Amino acid sequence: MTEMTEKPKPPRPTLSLEASYRNALYEVAGDDPLVLRIGAAVPLSWLQHRGAHSATLITAWNPFSRELPEPVNLARLQQLRRAVDAAGLRHLPARGCDPSGLWTPEPGLCVLDLAEALAGEWLREYEQFAAVVADARGCRLLWHPEVTAPSTEA
């Protein structure tokens, strides 16, 4: 389990940022690569082949969409990888990509069978607005526990 430190309340995501998350391509590397889109069905055979029920794509890159120098981002990603390994979870390299090319792809991890509660802890720890969950229900965003997506606000 990751040691939790007190983090500031996350900024409010904009509609534009939410649209970026929803329109991104989420790529999983490996011998059987996979590309996921929010709202699309998930090829369950891909999960079954790995003996998994879900795959969660998460990163530590650019906290709350603030661009950091690459060496800092790489160190943050390595810290996340150590946390995933310490939790005994299997993972593959992944990245989020902007199909319009406006932002640079962000490397991350595709973590198999990651509990949503632990994903929420890591969203807090690594200051991320959202992770991507792929399972039998489809591909969807899992927002930071203290964030309400702009399109779902009352």
What would the pLDDT profile of 60-97 be if each residue is shown by its tens digit?
A: 999 999 999 999 999 999 999 999 999 999 999 999 99
Within a domain: 2:
no
Looking at the structure of the chain, the number of domains it has is 1
pLDDT value at position 4? 54
Within a domain: 7:
no
129-151 residue pLDDT tens: 999 999 999 999 999 999 877 76
Instruction: Measure the CA–CA gap between 16 and 115, rounded to whole angstroms.
Output: 28
Within a domain: 131:
yes
Rounded to 5°, the CA angle 61-26-9 comes to 40
71 CB-near residues (< 8 Å, 6+ apart): none
Q: Domain range for residue 101?
A: 15-152
pTM of this structure: 0.91
Within a domain: 82:
yes
Count the alpha carbons within 13 Å of 69 in the hemisphere toward its beta carbon: 2
Within a domain: 102:
yes
Q: Is the distance from CB of 75 to CB of 129 less than 8 angstroms?
A: no
